Amino acid sequence: MGKLLAFTMVAATVATVVLFWRRVWWFPPNISTVGAGVDGDFRLTLWVTGILFVAAQLILAYCIGRRPKAGRARYLTGNLRMEVAWTVVAAVTFIGLALHSYRTWARMYFIGAPPNAVKIQVEAEQFAYWFRYPGPDGVFGPMHLRLINDATGNYFGLDPARDPASRDDIVTATLGIPVDRPVELLLMSRDVIHSFYVPQLRIQQDIVPGMVIPIHFTATRTGNYQIVCTQLCGLGHYAMRASLKVMTEANFKQWLARQAAEQ
Amino acid sequence: MAACPATGRRMGGGRAARVPQSVRSSDMAKASSESVAPQVAQGFWRKYVFSTDHQIIGKQYYFLALFAALVAMFLSWLMRVHLAWPRLAIPGLNALSASGAPAGLMTPEYYLSLLTVHGTLMIFFVLTTAPQAGFGNCLLPAQLGAERMAFPRLNMLSFWLTFTSLGVLLASFFVRGGPAISGWTAYPPLSALGSITGPGEGLGQSLWIISIALFCVASLLGALNFITTTLDLRAPGMTLMRMPLTAWAWFVTAILMLLSFAVLLAACVLLMLDRVAGTSFFVPSGLIVSGQMIHGHAGGSPLLWEHLFWFFGHPEVYIAILPAMGVTSHLLSCFARKPVFGYRAMVWATIAIGFLGFLVWGHHMFVSGMNPYSAFAFAVLTVIIAVPSAVKTFNWLGTLWGGRLRLTTAMLFALGFVSIFVSGGLSGIFLAEPPVDVQLHATYFVVAHFHLVMGMAAMFGIFSGTYFWFPKMFGRMMNETLGKIHFILTFVGAYCVFMPMYFLGMAGNVRRYAQFVDPYLQPLMPLQRFITVAALGLGAAQFLFIFNLFWSLFGGKKAGENPWQATTLEWATPGAARAVYRGPYEYAVAGQEQDFVMQNAPDAGPSRARKEAADDNADQISNA
């Protein structure tokens, strides 16, 4: 039984290492400026924990699978020097990893969006996302709760008749953004907690009713991606989706003009 | 009060002389190693149902947890089959729930109900109940050399509250809308506004809150009982630093329960008030749900619930895992026939985990909208808690190194625990780094992490405890051959079910989805199906355990007094002196006839033991 268990442990360890090494299943390709930092932090952590994982499993398998010795074990109650050494090594390694992730975290959240960022409001509801661009005046018109009505398409409760700032606002069901330009999203929810997650952007942020949460990023590759909800929000949670369209600056301008014409 | 009929019966039993003393000692929780529990005839109900005997109560908890685990496992089977083959009608499912599974096809809301009840059953009624209340009641007094738990009646009340709480939770399957669909975390406003947010959010969610509130009260009573017993009822000579590591684990876990369940109880009360009394602790103003404006709420914050919930929720994972760590340390030493490597370091690591466990709850909330500066502070505190866990792992390997391993089923599960704990625990480092968590949060990576490090590891602790203490609890041995087959199938099954989930998460597969409909998730479906097949196999293997357990209750080999040649007091001869003379893990002591010395063996220490052993030898020689 000892040999069988030791063999199983070694086999599980080898299989895990091979699957990580060959990247049989892996992250979708990164398309944001901050993503390289996330991927780098992941790789470093994978190396450190991978070494600890292999070492611990193999030592365990060795203890179980080796030929049993006759007689009694040595009466050994511990070794203070080894204990202190291991504690220090573990503390330095783990705290080092956490501190190392500071740079990426700071780029995501401590530094605000630059002034030239494209500002877009995001409103989440069970089970859809809506997006609003401020239009040429750069100002979002005020929202009126009682005017919010999905049936008439007034997802943000705008009153263009009374509010001049609302007249040029553009509301869409797809999030269109320009490539290589900072984007700032202002996340809002009107019912329960939702989330904004685009795996390729390496961005995930809960959308909490009662709060406006800003996030910012810069996409580096054009294409169509999916925005998915990751916070359990009700029976349609699994199907709460929107499209993200990353376009060249020229295409983005055209696209936005088309959307404005359709308002 | 309940005391009166009991006292009356004892007096009627003709042992009136002892009654005042025993009543006083149980009420005042005074340790008194001389007093003997009154052996009076008790009726069936008093002895086996509304029992104040800690051993009966422990077994009641154990079997309640076993029942909950079977239900939870069955629910996980339904979920896994549905995820892998969403268009497959499950025969008979429409009989279980006509609205949740018309024609046997599971609706998304029914999936979420199963998910909620599976998580709630496993976290509360299995992982909190079996290792702590189950084994703790059966063994803590015995290991400390106490006759009983400090508060027998609170103990009985605690069990029956837990029983009621389980009943309330399961009752939600039979109400309109079915059980809650908001997961075991029950984030408001989804959980706070009633059935307008979804089916199951009406009466189902209310029952969930009532059930958890009752469970909190039961846990608080249990925790008080464990703490008092440990502090007040230890046998003479049983200093804190001579307690077995299992007793340490139960003690620290009880403190965690006392401090964390109190907060969850308050949170449940506030959530209920938001639902029924129009308060706004967690509900902000200006909500529009399904096109309907929500009136009468203003100023609440969903983040407040997240903070309160995780202030409980994170210590809770240590409540689940600390007793399993204790069992593992206890068994590795016994079956390696070696003292625990670094006993003091183990005790301090347990205390450190308990203390730090209260400072890390924010790592569940990196993407919640919490202040990002405090998120980073939580990140640093979180990796610090990995240090005592790493120290424990190091000491387990140190205990095994050079040991003379006896690979009993109990030992195999303890060894499996170490392997699974490492495989699940190390991924916690990824999730502790905020930017990496942003990518992996709410994906199957997290599902893999907590199912291995808390779910499977704690289950391995429960299994090793069962195989080890079965002879103590039921007087018979379990079948070792069946046990070993059960072990290897469970070990391989656990890896096959949960390791692939790391890769699913890295590929962006989000958790808590009733179906995987997106194109980007389709390439992962073969892996999903593999996991489902493995989960069916892993679950099926558990029936070997169930069979072994019940068969051994009646047909197992009669157990000797100390079948594992262990050192701690639960294996001492019944009625032997409960004075303690040494630490708990005196294996392989030089100069002793046997390779272990029990804690109550009367002499002062290894040096004197050696001297006396030498004297014994001299006597024998002269006699010869």
Within 13 Å of residue B265, how many CA atoms lie on the same side as its CB? 14
pLDDT mean over A102-123: 95
Is residue A73 included in any domain, yes or no? no
Closest CA to B446 of B525, B380, B363: B363
* Whether A197 and B379 lie within 8 Å, measured CB to CB: no
Average pLDDT, chain B: 90
d(CA B490, CA B616): 48
- In which band, very low, low, confident or very high, does the pLDDT at B590 lie, cut at 50, 70 and 90? confident
Residues of chain A neighbouring B343 (CB-CB closer than 8 A): 77-78
Interface of B with A in 380-419 (CB under 8 A): 380, 382-384, 386-387, 390-391, 393-395, 397-398, 400-405, 407, 412, 415-416, 418-419
Which element (helix H / strand E) includes A120?
strand A118-125
Q: Which of B86-95, B149-158, B209-218, B441-450 has the lowest average pLDDT?
A: B86-95
Let me know: does B465 contact B135? Beta carbons within 8 Å: yes
Is residue A75 included in any domain, yes or no? no
Whether B38 shows a pLDDT value over 80: the answer reads no
Whether B616 shows a pLDDT value over 80: the answer reads no
What is the amino acid identity at position B469?
W
Interface residue B587 vs chain A (CB under 8 A): yes
Which pLDDT value is given to residue B41? 63
What residues form DSSP beta bridges with A225? A244
- In which band, very low, low, confident or very high, does the pLDDT at B115 lie, cut at 50, 70 and 90? very high
Interface of B with A in 269-328 (CB under 8 A): 284-291, 293, 300-303
Is residue A45 included in any domain, yes or no? yes
d(CA B99, CA B108): 11
N-to-C CA span, chain B: 65
Instruction: Tell me, yes or no, whether A159 and A252 share the same domain.
Output: yes
- In which band, very low, low, confident or very high, does the pLDDT at B40 lie, cut at 50, 70 and 90? low
Closest CA to A195 of B328, B277, B506, B512: B512
Interface residue B376 vs chain A (CB under 8 A): yes
Tens of pLDDT, residue by residue over B508-517, are: 999 999 999 9
Closest CA to A17 of A42, A64, A61, A51: A51
Instruction: Tell me, yes or no, whether A94 and A133 share the same domain.
Output: no
- In which band, very low, low, confident or very high, does the pLDDT at B17 lie, cut at 50, 70 and 90? very low
d(CA B480, CA B476): 12
What residues form DSSP beta bridges with A196? A205
d(CA B95, CA B102): 9
Tens of pLDDT, residue by residue over B208-261, are: 999 999 999 999 999 999 999 999 999 999 999 999 999 999 999 999 999 999
Tens of pLDDT, residue by residue over B132-151, are: 999 999 999 999 999 999 99
Let me know: does B458 contact B123? Beta carbons within 8 Å: no
Q: What are phi and psi of A206, to 5 degrees?
A: -65, 150
Closest CA to B511 of B428, B448, B457: B448
Cα dihedral B479, B485, B491, B492, rounded to 10, equals -170
Write the secondary structure of B243-273 as one string of H (helix), E (strand) and C (coil).
CCHHHHHHHHHHHHHHHHHHHHHHHHHHHHH
Let me know: does A235 contact B181? Beta carbons within 8 Å: yes
DSSP for B482-511, please give it.
Answer: HHHHHHHHHHHHHHHHHHHHHHHHHTT-BS
Place of tokens 């709410």: B442
Instruction: Tell me, yes or no, whether A240 and A198 share the same domain.
Output: yes
Q: Cis omega (within 30 of 0) on the bond before A53?
A: no
**Closest partner residue to B284 among A41, A101, A209, by Cβ?**
A209
Question: Tokens representing B471?
Answer: 């002879």
Q: Report the length, in residues, of chain B.
A: 624
* Whether B436 and A27 lie within 8 Å, measured CB to CB: no
Average pLDDT, chain A: 95
Whether B611 shows a pLDDT value over 60: the answer reads no
Residues of chain B neighbouring A52 (CB-CB closer than 8 A): 390, 422, 426
Whether B461 shows a pLDDT value over 80: the answer reads yes
Instruction: Tell me, yes or no, whether A96 and A199 share the same domain.
Output: no
Which pLDDT value is given to residue B602? 84
Which pLDDT value is given to residue B6? 35
Let me know: does A248 contact A179? Beta carbons within 8 Å: yes
Let me know: does A15 contact B421? Beta carbons within 8 Å: no
- In which band, very low, low, confident or very high, does the pLDDT at B39 lie, cut at 50, 70 and 90? low
Q: Report the length, in residues, of chain A.
A: 263
d(CA B43, CA B377): 57
d(CA B208, CA B622): 74
Residues of chain B neighbouring A22 (CB-CB closer than 8 A): none
d(CA B404, CA A49): 30
Q: Which range of residues forms the domain containing residue A149? A: 115-262
Interface residue A97 vs chain B (CB under 8 A): yes
Q: With DSSP H G I counted as helix, E B as strand and the rest as coil, what are the percentages for chain B, rounded to 5? A: 70, 0, 30
Tens of pLDDT, residue by residue over A5-29, are: 999 999 999 999 999 999 999 999 9
Let me know: does A235 contact B192? Beta carbons within 8 Å: no
Share of chain B above pLDDT 90, in %: 83
Tens of pLDDT, residue by residue over A158-214, are: 999 999 999 999 999 999 999 999 999 999 999 999 999 999 999 999 999 999 999
Q: Rg of chain B's alpha carbons, rounded to an integer?
A: 26
* Whether A126 and B197 lie within 8 Å, measured CB to CB: yes
Candidates A232, A241, A243: best to mutate against B (most CBs of B within 10 A) is: A232
ipTM of this predicted complex?
Answer: 0.97
Name all contacts of A43-46 with Cβ < 8 Å and 24+ positions apart. Answer: A44/A97, A44/A100, A45/A97, A45/B429, A45/B430, A45/B433, A45/B436, A46/A20, A46/B430
Q: Rg of chain A's alpha carbons, rounded to an integer?
A: 26
d(CA B47, CA B270): 38
Is residue A198 included in any domain, yes or no? yes
CA angle B19, B23, B28 (to 5 degrees): 150
d(CA B329, CA B388): 14
Say how many C-beta atoms besides its own lie within 10 A of residue B141's C-beta: 25
**Closest partner residue to B422 among A53, A71, A151, by Cβ?**
A53
Whether B307 shows a pLDDT value over 70: the answer reads yes
**Closest partner residue to B108 among A75, A190, A238, by Cβ?**
A238
- In which band, very low, low, confident or very high, does the pLDDT at B30 lie, cut at 50, 70 and 90? very low
Let me know: does B575 contact B583? Beta carbons within 8 Å: no
Residues of chain A neighbouring B380 (CB-CB closer than 8 A): 95, 98-99
d(CA B133, CA B159): 9
Enumerate residues 6+ apart whose C-beta is below 8 A from B137: B54, B55, B57, B58, B61, B149, B155
Is residue A186 included in any domain, yes or no? yes
d(CA A146, CA A158): 10
DSSP for A187-233, please give it.
Answer: EEESSS-EEEEEGGGTEEEEE-TT--EEEEEEB-S-EEEEEE--S--
Let me know: does B553 contact B471? Beta carbons within 8 Å: no
* Max CA separation in chain B (angstroms): 98
Domain of A123, CATH number, reads 2.60.40.420
Query: In a 3-state reduction of DSSP, which class is residue A171?
Result: strand
Residues of chain A neighbouring B290 (CB-CB closer than 8 A): 126, 191
pLDDT mean over B394-409: 96
Which element (helix H / strand E) includes B410?
helix B409-425
Separation in Å, CA B111 to CA B197, B199, B200, B468, B554 = 16, 12, 11, 37, 39
Domains of chain B, by residue range, sit at 572-623
- The total number of structural domains in chain A stands at 2
Interface residue A199 vs chain B (CB under 8 A): yes
DSSP for chain A, please give it.
Answer: -HHHHHHHHHHHHHHHHHHHHTTSS-PPPP-BTTHHHHHHHHHHHHHHHHHHHHHHHHHHHHHHHSPPPSSPPP-----HHHHHHHHHHHHHHHHHHHHHTHHHHIIIIIS---TTPEEEEEEEETTEEEEEE-TTTT-PPPP-GGG-BTTTTBTT---TTT-GGGTT-EEESSEEEETTSEEEEEEEESSS-EEEEEGGGTEEEEE-TT--EEEEEEB-S-EEEEEE--S--STTGGG-EEEEEEE-HHHHHHHHHHHHHH-
Is residue A252 included in any domain, yes or no? yes
Instruction: Tell me, yes or no, whether A55 and A129 share the same domain.
Output: no
Whether B194 shows a pLDDT value over 80: the answer reads yes
* Whether A238 and B517 lie within 8 Å, measured CB to CB: yes
Instruction: Tell me, yes or no, whether A129 and A104 share the same domain.
Output: no
Closest CA to B308 of B340, B287, B282: B282
Question: Tokens representing B296?
Answer: 């009468």
What residues form DSSP beta bridges with A178? A247
Separation in Å, CA B335 to CA B247, B420, B566, B598 = 18, 19, 9, 15
